[in-house]
Structure 1
Amino acid sequence: MAKAAVSAKPDTVLVGAMDLELARAMRSLGTEATGSKNPQPKPYFISYAVSDSEGVSMNAQFGAITSSNASHRRTADVQVRLGSPEQDNTHGDHRASALTSMPLPLGDDREAIARSLWFATNRGYGRALDSYLKVKTEQQVRAKEEDASADFSVEKPATELLPAAPRVQLEKAAWEARIREISGVFKQFPDIFYNTVGLQASSETDYFVSSEGAKVATPSHVARLVVVGRTRAADGMDLFRVETFEADELGHLPPQKELMEKTLAMAKNLEALREAPVTEPFNGPAILSGRASAVFFHEVLGHRLEGQRQRGDEEGQTFTKLLNKPILPSFLSVADDPTVTTFHGTPLSGHYSFDDEGQPARKVDLIKDGVLETFLMSRLPIASFQTSNGHGRAEVGHMPTGRQGNLIVTSSKTVSDAELREMLKAEAKAQNKPYGLYFEDISSGFAVTTRRSPQAFSVVPLVVYRVYVDGRPDELVRGVSIVGTPQEALSRILATDDKQDVFNGICGAESGSIPVSAVAPAMLMSKIETQRQAQGTARPPIVPPPSDRMIAKGGH
């Protein structure tokens, strides 16, 4: 029902305009060499990163289409650096001063593209100059910095122009019928007051050229279908579930039968959650399913291993001083490998060939046998690592920073699901607890990494069960969130099961929202701390939803 057009060559008009305008800017900007009475510094680095993306999106609710759109965007991120790699206009809190973003013409009009790049570059130079003067002034009055690393690393420029991404071709009527059918499932459930089924398919080619000689074009394409349902318990607690299906193209999304079955199961679970008891705060043993474990590692560990969090007066630097020391049990290892496209047949959202600074993606072994070995590095150096490892990532309009791609957790201490469950019961019994908790699904959470706040995390479970030690059936509960501090939480892992699961999602941080994946096995923790979620005060809808019969009779 969907097919892609044949891949085209990279846009040579676009790349040519980028090349020529960048070279002209490097020659022309600044007056240091002209003998001017008020010389201005020449840039030591300029780069153009252009995102050329086409996409389609459509949404349905309760069996009807609410939106259906197509888009084509071409945006340039112009980066201008003044000074030297040791200290430039991005120093300290001024990192964003290097970046200027501007829409580019969509067609192959070389003159129009060049004029837009010229204007963005001149604006960017002005911002960079203003910031560079502030940096030099601030350095004269501030105390010595903890990490005096350079502001920009020296890297070998990459040159690889891959074929442009094929255009998205969508059979609109067929897909609208599919998402109408999926969203229509919720009409059977009067207590689910909100739902949406969203389909997005995009085809993007990213171009990067720099004054160092880098010249890269990389294609990407993704199809994603997201199903969301919301309800509200009688006591005012809001409850929601999300199912995300992702593939490298529309034709590889799951068949309709599977999508319908999973949507129906989600709706039934939401109805059950409305009647489930609210759990009390808990501090005891728990199992996180593979998907829940993946989210946990992404939030609790992954963000704290991003390179820029190891320098700066405001960062908490949870693991900065723990290099070559154990931070996980010895049976666990963690890598980030954006070069992997799939895991056991499941596409990974965090895959890319080159990062957003034109550096080749590469696998990074972060933790081996529990011991911390390195961090996720962009071209912002830190005291212990001076070069990039291909993890400088950003959403369009943001400065790249060290970010996760495909975070992959492996274990050498594995048992079956059944054995892990028995270990949970035994651990609860040993702690004189009537039950342990099983977290089946977790929504995204947040991790606090700044120094002025407690180094804590919080993640919101969506589906939680009490697993009783006396053999009673598992009991669905609601209203719980997981809280804690990372070093203690990570030290409580006792064992994992023998298979890994995948979480695909969109992660937001200072460099914007980017696609990420995490892969992890289910894990047993000796203690996990939970607290009650906010209760909410709004009542469920007072009037029941209209029935088909009422609508047919005009509301009577």
Structure 2
Amino acid sequence: MIAVSLLALMLTPAAAAPAVHEALERAVAAELGRAKRELKDEGYPSVYHAALNIWDFDDWDLWGAMGAPRAEATMRQRILLADLRVGGPELDNHPVTPKTEYLGTPVSLESDEFALRHALWRVLDGSYKTASAEYLRKQAQVVTRGKAEYDTDDLAPEPPHERRASRPASSWDLDRLRRLEDAISAPFARAPWLLHADSHVGLRRLWTRRRDTDGSAVDKAEDWARVDVEAAALSPDGLRQTVYSEFQVREPGDLPTEREVGAAAEGMLKDLGEMLVAVTTSPFSAPALVDPSVSAALVFALGQRLSGEEQRNPAGAQTFRGRLSEKILPEELTLVDDPTQVSFRGRPLFGRYDYDHQGVPARRTVLVERGVLKGFLLSRYPVKGFARSNGHGRSGVGQMVVGTPGNLFLSTARPRSAADLLSGLRAECLRTGKPYGLWVRKLRAYVQQQSGSAQGSIRFLAQIFLVDAESGATLRVRDLDLVGTPLVMAGSILEAGDDAEVNEVYQGSAMAVVTPSLLLSDAELQRSETKPEKAPILQPPPR
């Protein structure tokens, strides 16, 4: 009965919704006002800016295994996070190293104004005490060490923005999502030789409110649906081979058809069968051609390093700090982030939005122009030389806002056809004396490290083909991953293709990366991190 009632709430707005909305608005206005006017302890700084992000979300998930449903769950929750500043815009308590942990607090979903105000009172009180301690620590560091040469103000000015709205009713059809889960999982029921085949379809309906003491009030919906499946089998030498596929959309009309997800699952089985009989070889380095799915991961990693917070983070890599107006990519390449663009070649863009999570309007931002670094992804935490946000302050539910990509576009002034890129790969191999080039396709996952003074490497888990430099013949190999640091790999780009594709990313916020294939002068293969395992003792049960 609980699941049924929650499901009904997801599909039909509750009759009490207006009352809940009004009670929450009154509670937020009252407690934010009290915090700004009165929240001060003797001997400690005053509040000069206070903001609240409030997320209402409804989650529905369905999981399957080997073609059959295995679990279904629904959840509703309201989370709030305070951003309370003491001191002044030139120096406040904003952490010099962004906090990545979950910081949100669950509060009442109901129209009980007292319960809401009580929760806000406690959250703001705790935020003030933490903010005061952090501000005094920063102030002491400035006195003893001075400001770093890259430091500037801690809060960029921004006029108040207002876009109040009522939460729209759901237009998602859960029965259709169930049919998609059935369609993507069905082919695996006919493959008992698999170790596992786990499918999932999920829906998150997210309603976000931003309120602050400067007068900003921005409401927005951020729905997101996902269909994904992973399957694995053991190769003859006991190494686990894995394939993965996913579809992510923001609107019901963008969902794939049952036929499309079924075809993707059939393709995964075919791919897995080929992996089991593929040959292995020793790791080596060679010129490489990476397809748009792989280049998207590389470009996304570059985008993360172009966050404004990263330029001022003493514990981060600060890859591009101090390199403004320097060449960081080949001259023919331009990198832009544009959250306001809604589609690319007819395909809706996953990272589109109108306002960021600080209530700032989204803006198109040129990051790299013809190879030269021009800008950063900025929240209201400014970077030297950039005094204002460009509408890229985003966060996951209950997390700190940082400069984050929306829709990243890598374009080239000299696009090359797929045939030209393959010819270029072979020519580069012959020029450098390499018998084979690498053709890296269909990324299924990547792992990146970004901490400390190291630049951080990326491990790309994808299909690897060897391309014979003389004949052009291709040979698939397994148990090898492409590995490299984003800056070095970006610096090795020789050519870019005319085959730009959209790839979706969800890491707390929805993002899209639009990139073409890239020809690299050098790339390194390393052994995969998969360890041998013993095969099941018995044969699988008959289907």
Length-normalised TM-score, structure 2? 0.91
CA–CA separation in structure 1 for the residues paired with 2:316 and 2:345: 37
Q: Distance in 1 between matches of 2:70 and 2:29?
A: 43
Change (3 A) 1:144 1:23: closer
Deviation for aligned residue 1:345: 2.9
- C-alpha distance in 2 between matches for 1:162 and 1:369: 41
1:179–1:351: structure 2 CA closer, same or farther, 3 Å change rule?
Answer: same
Corresponding residue number in structure 1 for 2:316 = 315
Deviations 1:325-349 (A, max 9, x none): 2111111100011122322233322
Q: 1:149·1:383 contact (CA, 8 Å) conserved in 2? A: yes
Summarize the Cα distance change of 1:526–1:534 in structure 2 as closer, same or farther, 3 Å threshold: same
CA distance in 2, matches of 1:97, 1:435: 42
Deviation of the 1:154 alpha carbon? 1.6
Deviation at 1:497, TM superposition (A): 1.7
Aligned residue for 2:325? 324
CA contact (8 A) 2:245 2:444 kept: no
Distance 1:176 1:314, change over 3 A: closer
Which runs of structure 2 are paired with 1:332-411 in the superposition (5 Å)? 332-411=333-412
Deviations 1:398-438 (A, max 9, x none): 21111112111111111221222222222222223222111
User: Are the counterparts in 2 of residues 296 and 459 from structure 1 also a CA contact under 8 Å?
Assistant: no
Distance 1:78 1:412, change over 3 A: same
Whole-angstrom distance in 1 between the partners of 2:224 and 2:485: 35
Contact kept in structure 2, 1:287 and 1:437, CA below 8 Å: yes
Q: State the AA in 2 paired with 1:313.
A: P
- Which SS does the other structure have where 2:196 is aligned? strand
CA distance in 2, matches of 1:137, 1:328: 40
Distance 1:472 1:497, change over 3 A: closer
Structure 1 residue 5: deviation in Å?
Answer: 6.4
Cα distance in 1 for residues equivalent to 2:86 and 2:45: 7
How far the C-alpha of 1:4 sits from its partner, in A, is: 7.3
Is contact 1:332-1:370 (8 Å) kept?
Answer: yes
1:68-105, CA deviations, whole angstroms, 9 ceiling, x for partnerless residues? 12221111111211111121222435x65999632121
Query: For the Cα contact (< 8 Å) 1:61–1:180, is it kept in 2?
Result: no
Please give the alpha-carbon distance, in whole angstroms, between the structure 2 residues aligned to 1:55 and 1:170. Answer: 14
> What is the aligned length?
532
Distance 2:101 2:532 in 1: 46
Counterpart of 1:111 in structure 2 is 114
Match of 1:437? 438
Tell me which residue corresponds to 1:521: 516
Q: Report what 2:81 is aligned to.
A: 77
CA distance in 2 between partners of 1:99 and 1:27 (Å): 28
With 60-69 and 124-133 compared, the bigger mean Cα shift is at 124-133
Relative distance call for 1:224 and 1:99 in structure 2 (3 A) is closer
Residue range with higher mean Cα deviation, 385-394 or 250-259: 250-259
Relative to structure 1, is the Cα distance of residues 203 and 98 closer, same or farther in structure 2, using a 3 angstrom cutoff?
A: closer
Match of residue 26, structure 1, among 18, 32, 36: 36
The SS at the match of 1:92 is coil
Contact 1:21–1:114 (CA under 8 A) maintained in structure 2: yes
Q: 1:6-50: per-residue Cα shift (whole Å, max 9, x none)?
A: 99989344333322221122122115xxxxxx4432211111110
1:480 CA displacement: 2.0
Q: 1:493 — aligned with what? A: 493
Match of 2:193 in 1: 191
How far, CA to CA, are the matches of 1:255 and 1:177 in structure 2?
Answer: 9
What amino acid maps onto 2:149 in structure 1? E
Out of 243, 246, 255, which is 1:244 matched to?
Answer: 246
Match of 2:258 among 251, 256, 263: 256
The one-letter amino acid paired with 1:261 is A
Q: Which amino acid aligns with 2:355?
A: F
Deviation for aligned residue 1:248? 2.5
Task: Supply the AA of the counterpart residue of 1:416.
Answer: S
Distance 2:340 2:204 in 1: 20
1:58 is aligned to 62
User: 1:205 Cα shift?
Assistant: 1.3
CA 502–98 in structure 1, closer or farther in 2 if over 3 Å, else same: closer
Per-residue deviation, 1:143: 5.4
Structure 2 vs 1, CA of residues 323 and 134 (structure 1 numbering), >3 Å: closer, same or farther? closer
- State the alpha-carbon separation in 2 of the partners of residues 303 and 132 from structure 1: 27
User: Which residue of structure 1 lines up, in the alignment, with residue 506 of structure 2?
Assistant: 506
Q: Which amino acid aligns with 2:40?
A: G
Shift of 1:246: 2.1
Partners of 1:98 and 1:417 in 2: CA distance: 42
After TM superposition, the structure 1 stretch with the greater mean CA deviation from structure 2, 409-418 or 478-487, is: 478-487
Kindly report the root-mean-square deviation, in angstroms, between the aligned alpha carbons of the 2 structures: 2.6
**Which ranges of structure 2 fall in alignment gaps of 5 or more residues?**
1-9
Deviation at 1:206, TM superposition (A): 0.6
In structure 1, the residue matched to 2:48 is 44
Contact 1:168 1:201 in 2 (8 A): no
Distance 1:218 1:176, change over 3 A: closer
Match of 1:540 in 2: 535
Q: Distance in 1 between matches of 2:438 and 2:518?
A: 12
2:127 matched to 1:132? Answer: no
Q: 1:417 to 1:63 in 2, by over 3 A?
A: same
Aligned-pair distance for 1:252?
3.2
Structure 1 residue runs of 5 or longer lacking an equivalent are 32-37, 508-512, 549-556
Whether 1:413 and 2:414 are equivalent positions in the alignment is yes
CA contact (8 A) 1:146 1:312 kept: no
- The list of structure 1 runs, each at least 4 consecutive aligned residues, that deviate by more than 6 angstroms after superposition, is 3-10
In structure 2, do the counterparts of structure 1 residues 145 and 122 end up closer, same or farther at CA, with 3 Å as the change threshold?
Answer: same
1:274 paired to 2:269: no
| Cα distance between partner residues in 2 of 1:450 and 1:497 | 32
TM-fit CA distance, 1:274: 1.8
Q: CA deviation at 1:207?
A: 0.3
Range with greater deviation from structure 2 (318-327 or 427-436): 427-436
Secondary structure at 1:80 match in 2: strand
Amino acid of the structure 2 residue aligned with 1:67:
A
Percent of residue pairs bearing the same amino acid type: 29
Q: Which has the higher mean CA deviation after the structures are superposed, 304-313 or 187-196?
A: 187-196
CA separation of 1:535 and 1:247: change in aligned 2, threshold 3 A: closer
Equivalent-residue separation in structure 1 for 2:315 and 2:195 (angstroms): 43
Between the aligned partners of 1:63 and 1:488, the Cα distance in structure 2 is 43
Q: 1:482 Cα deviation (Å)?
A: 2.1
